[in-house]
Amino acid sequence: MKKLSLSLYLLIFAFIFPINAQTDKETINSIFENAVTDYTAYEQLRYLCKNIGPRLTGSPQAAAAVEYFFQELQNMGFDTVYLQETTVPNWIRGEKEVARIISSQFGTTEMHAAALGLSVETGIKGISAEIIEVKSFEELAKLGEKNVKGKIVFFNRPAFTTHYQTGAAYGGAVEQRTWGAVEAAKHGAIATIVRSVGTGKDFYPHTGVMRYKEGIPKIPAIAISTNDADILSQQLKAEPGLKVYIRTTCKQRADVKSYNVIAEIQGSENPNNYITVGGHLDSWDLGEGAHDDGTGVVQSIEVLRLFKELKIKPKNTIRAVLFMDEEIMQRGGASYAEQAKRNNEKHLFAIESDGGGTLPLGFSIDASDQILSKIQSWQDFFIPWGIYSIRKGGSGVDVDPLKGYSIALGGLIVNSQGYFDLHHAPNDVFEMVNQREMQLGAAGMAALIYLIDKNGLE
Amino acid sequence: MKKLSLSLYLLIFAFIFPINAQTDKETINSIFENAVTDYTAYEQLRYLCKNIGPRLTGSPQAAAAVEYFFQELQNMGFDTVYLQETTVPNWIRGEKEVARIISSQFGTTEMHAAALGLSVETGIKGISAEIIEVKSFEELAKLGEKNVKGKIVFFNRPAFTTHYQTGAAYGGAVEQRTWGAVEAAKHGAIATIVRSVGTGKDFYPHTGVMRYKEGIPKIPAIAISTNDADILSQQLKAEPGLKVYIRTTCKQRADVKSYNVIAEIQGSENPNNYITVGGHLDSWDLGEGAHDDGTGVVQSIEVLRLFKELKIKPKNTIRAVLFMDEEIMQRGGASYAEQAKRNNEKHLFAIESDGGGTLPLGFSIDASDQILSKIQSWQDFFIPWGIYSIRKGGSGVDVDPLKGYSIALGGLIVNSQGYFDLHHAPNDVFEMVNQREMQLGAAGMAALIYLIDKNGLE
């Protein structure tokens, strides 16, 4: 036999060069290229934002989001799709809030306001009282009970925006929202108004969670927009003793049952080893929860879609987890970690996308220096796709309970410049999301998971 | 004298460490920090977009933009502010275009259309003819006169969007817009319809300039939105021989006088050496010309504002140039280079911002390898501000006529993911611009100019 038949040639060729013997570079490029041209996740996000809408933890909309994605993930044909029970708070906003400056000099000014999550209500009659402005808890403490008692404390320290990462601006101001009511109540205040913790100059109020402390009276807390905060501050300067009227009817109801939604592609070699990618399904209720965190949800699903579509067979099980209740009590994240430990699952890596679906710029890695170095050694795969910074740092609220249990944790770092203009605010809507930017983020996480799955971390 | 007085200490201290003896790192950080917290440029952009609006080369609005910035730059107190004459085309869109599919099967479909810049009109009666779809000039040539004559050619090659830089997608499709009418007319077509050269899936038509060639009949050319292009293509598949009606009343009038607007901070050592930063003042007329290129205009002014505000005294003269007529004939850029050469000005560097006012990611440098290396040696100043890529590449249409004359040219590289969703389209509006992203771009150019001014390029 002097001549091999064509089919025999092909057979030998296929044996020597198996079909999936792509280089890592080719695989990673195909992940990005497939992602930016695909609209599955973007259309899921549209449905979530426009057909389900805002989905406060414990609300019917949050339950609808669970149901929608449970069906959607089954339709997409992943190996396993299931719900993981958790118990979540059920705080209800009630009627549209009223916040009104009553000035003898400037007349009446209606402000754009929103009750903070977990706040008690003023009740239907509202509260009218003198306002006192402070920029810090120290300033408040110096004023003391004699200046504060019976008044409404107005926390007006702006987010300092000089840092490149706007998260730093947020982090520097958010204590006023979270702990302002506790600090004010210590000195006898009857309510608090906080300047919205955001980077924009506009009329959008930004809500967010606040906390009470046992033994300290629970007083109502609202946020007003940054522009309204400036107006209130100006009027107060011109007219000390100025009064403000606020009215909220928010209520805390009994906890309800809810779920994380989980889908898996089973690992071919180590099905009981897990790599998790997640975002949170619940959102605040003023906008549509598009960037916070609809994008993280659909990106997590997109990671699985990319593996399936590109026929990448992972060694370890890849899980997309749509966490419930990130915004209020973080019960979904806690339940997920508890369950993992109870089942003795081995967790290699868990990454979260909860900084908005904007242009991805890097990964924040919470792991030993050795593991960080290994991940950084893959940097060159990512640079052509704009992901240039792999650095040590935190992960995210929902995967953090796995800390010390998972070998490494991670967070997707994205363009944060506009995020705190819309964070927890009415303008966090679908239209603010760019399909390509969101998909690049999903592809970045898929590529990182591909490399970790293939090479391990240790 | 055993003890120096405090004032004497201070005097000696001030002598050894002059007040402005900041390190480069401190100066550059102060440029970025000042920029992201300042709203001067953002408010100028708002005025340009909302009070002046779209400003087609040669239009009264373009003249109003010249007048506004001439006044504004004088008010800002720069050393020199002047107008530089140029002569520009005066193409007028006329009435809202009509583009209508007339199908026996699907009924009548109105498409979202816009005449291409410099196109001749169909006239008030419009043109109704059979449509023929092609994806390339090669396909068109194969079809030849027997299939094309008397018909409307529909160029429907989409922008391929797999590349990270969307400019590549645009570049791969734009010949259909620029030269489609010439190619179609060669084979006897009577008009052309081009799929909008954009990355979005929506109903926005994207205009842009087209060209004719001497000796080839001038036929009308319009763009339709990408969604309309898909609809037209589907209907045509189902119904070969489908007819389309189009009507445009655009007209080419005689050239008019116009201006580049120029402001300078004079160099303290070499006032006749120039560093230029520019953007273009004219825009297409469907949106507000916000990202294209209102942001480039106000960023260029911002560079000067930052030098002045931070009391950075440049050795060389720093010039902000607001170019006229980038979109149609690029006469402003040509006039600027001619004038520079006529006056024997020494040009060190000219950088342009014309890719949108989005997150800055790098600089494209058009210079020798040696100069590129010198600029790359400054990389570490920029990384904390997200500018991680300094690479060889082109500059921009308006500064390019200085090529071979200026020691180096440059372009600001920004996040391009969303740019071609709104480029030349109705959604290029002020609301799409984020103040911080735009200001980071301005600061990046200011910092680069600061380093070039201080250290030279050779």
Quick one: tokens of A202?
A: 């506009």
- The rounded distance, in Å, linking the Cα atoms of B421 and B419 is 5
Ramachandran category for residue B301: left, alpha or beta (phi over 0 → left; psi -120 to 50 → alpha): alpha
> Which residues on B lie below 8 Å from A36 (Cβ)?
161-162
**For the structural domain made of A13-90+254-455, what CATH number should be given?**
3.40.630.10
pLDDT, tens digit (0-9, with 9 covering 90-100), for A88-128:
999 999 999 999 999 999 999 999 999 999 999 999 999 99
Inspect the interface and report whether the beta carbons of A434 and B417 lie closer than 8 Å. Answer: yes
DSSP A403: B
Residues of chain A in contact with residue B33, where contact means CB-CB under 8 angstroms, are 162
Question: Using CA atoms, how far apart are residues B227 and A217, in angstroms rounded to an integer?
Answer: 58
**Strands (E) located in A307-400:** 316-323, 346-352, 360-366, 389-392
Q: Which of B361, B384, B437 sits opposite A418 (nearest CB)?
A: B437
How far is residue B259 from each of residues A111, A224, B75, B256, measured CA to CA in Å?
Answer: 45, 46, 19, 10
Nearest CB to A359 within list B388, B415, B436 = B415
Pick the CATH number of B94-249 from 3.40.50.360, 1.10.150.120, 3.30.56.10, 3.50.30.30: 3.50.30.30
Q: What is the structure's pLDDT at A22?
A: 78
Size of interface A-B (CB pairs under 8 A): 57
In sequence order, what are the residues at sequence separation of 6 or more whose Cβ sits closer than 8 angstroms to the Cβ of residue B19? none
- Tell me whether residues B436 and A418 touch, CB distance under 8 A: yes
Q: Report chain B residues whose CB lies below 8 A from the CB of A201.
A: 39
Q: Is there a common fold for B15-90+255-455 and B94-249?
A: no
Instruction: Tell me the Ramachandran region of residue A149: left when phi exceeds 0, alpha when psi lies from -120 to 50, beta otherwise.
Output: beta
Quick check: B164 and A434 CB within 8 A? no
Q: Chain A partners of B32 at a C-beta cutoff of 8 Å?
A: 164
Q: Which residues of B fall below an 8 Å CB-CB distance to A?
A: 32-33, 36-37, 39, 161-162, 164, 166, 199, 201, 359, 361, 384-386, 388-389, 415, 417-418, 421, 434, 436-437, 440
Residue B22, pLDDT score: 78
Chain A interface mutation, best of B427, B436, B440, highest count of A Cβ atoms under 10 Å: B436
Q: What is the pLDDT of residues A383-435, one digit of tens each?
A: 999 999 999 999 999 999 999 999 999 999 999 999 999 999 999 999 999 99
CA distance B389 to B382: 9
- The DSSP annotation for B130-170 comes to EEEEESSHHHHHHHHHHHHTTSEEEE-PPPP--SSSHHHHH
Nearest to B434 among A36, A161, A417 (CB): A417
Decide if domain B15-90+255-455 falls under CATH 3.20.20.70. no
Just list the catalytic residues of B.
326
Q: Which of A192, A189, A100 is nearest to A151 (CA)?
A: A189
Residue B10 has pLDDT above 80, yes or no: no
Question: How confident is the model over B311-355, as pLDDT tens digits?
Answer: 999 999 999 999 999 999 999 999 999 999 999 999 999 999 999
**A272 phi and psi angles, rounded to 5 deg:** -95, 10
CB contact under 8 Å between A385 and B161, yes or no, is no
Look at B164 and A32 and tell me if their CB atoms are within 8 Å.
Answer: yes
Average pLDDT, integer, range A253-270 = 98
A415 contacts B415? CB cut-off 8 A: yes
Name which of B162, B166, B386 is nearest A361 (Cβ-Cβ). Answer: B386
Rg (CA), chain B: 25
**Rounded Cα–Cα distance for residues B86 and B83 (Å):** 9
Q: Is the pLDDT of residue B189 over 60?
A: yes
- Tens digit of each residue's pLDDT (9 = 90 or more) over A45-88: 999 999 999 999 999 999 999 999 999 999 999 999 999 999 99
Q: Please state, in angstroms and rounded to a whole number, the distance separating the CA atoms of residues B425 and B421.
A: 8
Report yes or no: B276 and B262 within 8 Å, Cβ to Cβ.
Answer: no
> Is pLDDT above 60 for B13?
no
Instruction: Determine the residue type at B230.
Output: D
CB-based contacts of A306: which residues, under 8 Å, 6+ apart? A31, A34, A35, A312, A442, A443, A446
Residues A361/A417, Cβ–Cβ less than 8 Å: no
| Pair of tokens at residue A291 | 């960037």
How close A437 gets to chain B, by Cα (Å)? 6
Among A288, A326, A327, A437, the one annotated catalytic: A326
Provide CB contacts within 8 A for B324, sequence distance 6+.
B57, B62, B66, B86, B88, B258, B259, B260, B280, B281, B282, B331, B332
What does the pLDDT look like over A145-168, one tens digit per residue?
999 999 999 999 999 889 999 999
A312 within 8 A of A355, measured Cβ to Cβ = no
Chain B hits for A166, Cβ within 8 Å: 436
Helix, strand, coil share (%) of chain B residues, nearest 5: 40, 25, 35
What's the confidence (pLDDT) of residue A94?
Answer: 97
Answer whether A360's CB lies under 8 Å from A386's CB. yes
The pLDDT assigned to B2 comes to 46
The ranges assigned to domains in chain B are: 15-90+255-455, 94-249
Residue B418 to residue A437, Cβ atoms within 8 A? yes
Bridge-partner residues for B303, per DSSP? none
Which candidate from A33, A384, A436 shows the least CB-CB separation from B417?
A: A436
ipTM of the complex: 0.92
pLDDT more than 90, % of chain A: 95
What is the C-alpha to C-alpha distance for residues A365 and A372, in angstroms, rounded to an integer? 7
Residues in chain A within 8 Å Cβ distance of B417: 359, 434, 436-437, 440
Sign of CA pseudo-dihedral B320, B324, B326, B332: negative
Quick one: which of B169, B168, B152, B151 has its CA closest to B160? B169
CA angle B98, B104, B109 (to 5 degrees): 30
Phi, psi of A82 (to 5 degrees): -155, 165
3-class secondary structure, B247: strand
pLDDT of residue A11: 52
Contact A187, A148 (CB under 8 A): yes
User: Which phi and psi (to 5°) does residue B118 adopt?
Assistant: 85, -5
The per-residue pLDDT of chain A, averaged, comes to 95
Spatial distance between the Cα atoms of A329 and B319, rounded to a whole number of angstroms = 55
Contact: B36, A436; criterion CB under 8 Å: no
Nearest residue of A to residue B382, measured between CA atoms: A164
Cis preceding linkage at A293, omega within 30: yes
Contact A269/A316 with Cβ under 8 angstroms? yes
Q: Are A131 and A261 in contact (CB under 8 A)?
A: no
Rounded to a whole number of angstroms, the distance from the CA of B417 to the nearest CA of chain A is 6
Q: What is the average per-residue pLDDT within A263-282?
A: 98
Measure B33 CA to nearest chain A CA, in Å. 5
Per-residue pLDDT tens over the stretch A308-363? 999 999 999 999 999 999 999 999 999 999 999 999 999 999 999 999 999 999 99
SS (H, E, C) B322-380: EECCCCCCCHHHHHHHHHHHHCCCEEEEEEECCCCCCCEEEEEEECCHHHHHHHHCCHH
How far apart are alpha carbons B425 and B286 in whole angstroms? 6
Which residues of chain A make contact with B441, given a CB cutoff of 8 A? none
User: Can you spell out the DSSP letters for B295-330?
Assistant: HHHHHHHHHHHHHHHTT---SEEEEEEEES-TTTT-
Instruction: Show residues of chain B in contact with A33, CB under 8 Å.
Output: 162
Q: Which residue from A161, A388, A415 is facing B37, i.e. has the nearest CB? A: A161
pLDDT tens-digit map of B88-121:
999 999 999 999 999 999 999 999 999 999 999 9
* The pLDDT value given to residue A134: 98
CA–CA gap between residue B64 and residue B333 (Å, rounded) = 19
DSSP bridge partners of A273:
A346
User: B3 vs A197, which has greater pLDDT?
Assistant: A197
CB-based contact A201 B359, cutoff 8 Å: no
